[in-house]
Amino acid sequence: MEIIILPTAEEASEVAARLVARQVRENPRSVVGLATGSTPCRLYQSLARKHTSEGLDFSGVTSFNLDEYVGLAPEHPASYHRFMEENLFCHVNIPRERIHIPDGLAGDIPAHCAAYEQAILEAGGIDLQILGLGSDGHLGFNEPGSSLASRTRIKTLTERTRSDNARFFTAGEQVPHHVITMGLGTIMESRMCLLLAFGKGKADAVAATVEGPVTANVPGSLLQFHPRTKVLLDAEAASALARTDYYQWVYQNKPVWQSDL
């Protein structure tokens, strides 16, 4: 894991956007894994700006989203279909037919999940997976206790995640209990992962993910086994880490040949 700590979420998101842009420029037919939640919003805004002002071209890109709520139609305001449409897809030029998001209304969920895995395989696997981190350490919607080898499947949310995500639903509306999410095994097959976490509320989950033992109780910690993961943090999210000085020294003193930003 490479730990990159910047003072603000804006700066960390800009670095993330440069990494995604570099991936797309180097391989215009890149397959990218996309995340939802408040964390990647600034990254998506920056990608939209790069598309408009720098001509960053997504016309060859294929995308796979991590997850979706079961029972929500694509047009529901809290659905991840709608989130992606509003925050990224309507601002860039990823061809519609190459956008993939789990279908929360799928009639046969196991068959839909198997087809989603197959589609990732047929696309050649995910080159770069963007990830946020739940306050309980979840990745996608892989809650604590998820099998470390899991594939795309239905999961039941914890009450903590339902309450964390209640802000995206209108007052009185129920946050669904069930979701479809890529598995931890699916995420681990991505060639590169970019994990973003911002704010004090993520500090404990970040410390457990980066410096704790690898355990299904903290799904993010599995990334310690991933050969190419960059963790982009603001100062608050990094505040419970023990080796902050070391991570900062490493980042500020990268040999030129190793610098990728």
Contact residues for ligand GLP (CB under 6 A)? 35-39, 66-67, 132-134, 140-141, 161, 165
Q: Report the Cα 8 to chain-centroid distance in Å.
A: 19
* Amino acid at position 172, single letter: G
Annotated active-site residue in 14, 127, 143, 236 = 143
Min CB(105)–ligand GLP separation in Å: 18
Min CB(171)–ligand GLP separation in Å: 18
Min CB(30)–ligand GLP separation in Å: 20
234 is catalytic: no
Cβ-based neighbours of 240, under 8 Å, separated by 6 or more: 203, 204, 206, 207
67 is catalytic: yes
Min CB(92)–ligand GLP separation in Å: 20
Beta strand 2-6 pairing with 62-65: unpaired
Residue 211, beta-bridge partner list: none
127 is catalytic: no
* Amino acid at position 171, single letter: A
Q: Which of 208, 50, 234, 229 is nearest to 137 (CA)?
A: 208
Torsion region of 185: left, alpha or beta (phi above 0 gives left; psi -120 to 50 gives alpha) = alpha
Q: Which of 210, 248, 253, 192 is nearest to 31 (CA)?
A: 192
Annotated active-site residue in 14, 67, 68, 236 = 67
Annotated active-site residue in 136, 164, 234, 236 = 136
Min CB(221)–ligand GLP separation in Å: 15
Burial environment of residue 237 by CB neighbours within 10 A (0 to 12, 13 to 18, 19 or more): buried
CB 18 within 8 A of CB 49: no
Closer CB to ligand GLP, 104 or 140, in the complex? 140
Question: Which residue minimizes CB distance to ligand GLP?
Answer: 132
> Tokens at residue 40, please?
């990647």
Which residues are catalytically annotated? 67, 136, 138, 143
